Structure 1
Amino acid sequence: MSATWYECKVKYRKIDENGVQKVVTEPYLVDAISYTEAERRINEEMAAYVSEEFKITNIKFANYSEIHPFEKADRWFKSKVALVAYDEESGKERKTNIYLLVQANDVKEAYDNTLHAMQNTMGDYTIPAIAESPIMDVFPYFSGEEADLEALEKFNAVKASKLEIQEMEDSLDFEEAVDEFVIEEDIDS
């Protein structure tokens, strides 16, 4: 069963980086089966984060096919992916657009993360657009079962991880790999 996502706008008082208290309206994403459940879920989630009064100003259906959190990323990006299908009767290409919400630190990383999310796709596709999303946080559904608890903990751990830059070194030389292949081939003969 696929998730149905609702974008909920929440208005509340927030202390900014200068220590000044101001009223903000921020969008959040919740997985729910109806508008009523989305309202209940955002109330529960926000009660844990906001100590003062808050108001839900809008709830609307969010057209995301998939949500992909990535480690060490702090912003959400909306990726438009055009799935390409060839219509044999008319001889034309037909494109169907889907939208992914991917977590990244910048647009280039969002593009790379979108490619990673689409790596097991069998058909052709293009990525015509990627834009930073105003979504502040994502709250997936949790049924209370133990398997769901592990999945939720993994989702939240990936979503909350911090950026660390590490360089990877290529330890296998091409010529060494060819020599190993040739030696194995000689042994088998």
Structure 2
Amino acid sequence: MSVTWYECKVKYKKTHETGEQKVTTDTYLLDAVSYTEAEARITEEMKTFTEEDFRIMNIKVANFSEVHPFENSDRWFKSKVSLVALDEESGKEKKANIYLLVQANDVKEAFDNTTKAMEQTMGDYNIPSITESPIVDVFPYFTGEEEQLEKFKVLDSPELVEQEN
């Protein structure tokens, strides 16, 4: 199933480590089926972050094909990946660009994580650019079914069946 990602810019008062409150604009990413749902979801997410008033400044469709979070990483990077295919008719190489959002601590780690994300790719590709993204956090859509599926995976695990016997 294809996912549509939306970048949402939100302006609000943020309390910094010094205790000082400053008005800031942060960018968040979430998946939704429409702009209306994106607005409703970012409103709900922001209510959990701040009790202050906030304004949604902008919502736009992001051009990410995939989002790859990695543990122990605190920044998001936009990786441009060029998929290389051979055009059968002309015999020339054709490139198609996709963009991945990859979590990492620095550009080198973002390159390594992009490579990990592309491990299952059968065709040739290269990574022409990686840039740090202004995205602060990502809110994927969860229906609650994901937790149920994880419980079933654990219950069906052969290691657990062997331990029970």
State the TM-score bracket (shorter-chain normalisation): 0.7 to 0.9
Superposition RMSD on alpha carbons, in Å?
1.4
Gaps of at least 5 residues in structure 1 are: 153-189
1:104 is matched with 104
2:43 is matched with 43
Deviates more, 1:4-13 or 1:16-25: 16-25
Equivalent of 2:147 in 133, 146, 149 = 149
Q: Tell me which amino acid in the other structure corresponds to 1:149.
A: E
- Secondary structure (helix, strand or coil) at the match of 2:135 reads coil
- Give the deviation of 1:150 after TM superposition: 6.0
| Aligned counterparts of 1:37 and 1:72: Cα–Cα separation in 2 | 30
Taking a change above 3 Å as real, the CA distance of residues 58 and 144 of structure 1, as seen in their structure-2 partners, is: same
| Aligned counterparts of 2:130 and 2:61: Cα–Cα separation in 1 | 20
Aligned pairs for 1:92-171 (under 5 A) are: 92-145=92-145, 148-149=146-147
1:12 is matched with 12
- Compare the two structures and name the one with the higher strand fraction: 2
- Secondary structure (helix, strand or coil) at the match of 1:91 reads coil
* Count of aligned residue pairs for this structure pair: 150
| Aligned counterparts of 1:101 and 1:150: Cα–Cα separation in 2 | 27
TM-score normalised by structure 2 residue count: 0.87
- Give the deviation of 1:143 after TM superposition: 1.4
TM-score normalised by structure 1 residue count: 0.76
Q: Which has the larger radius of gyration?
A: 1
Taking a change above 3 Å as real, the CA distance of residues 78 and 140 of structure 1, as seen in their structure-2 partners, is: same
| Aligned counterparts of 1:144 and 1:124: Cα–Cα separation in 2 | 36
1:73 is matched with 73
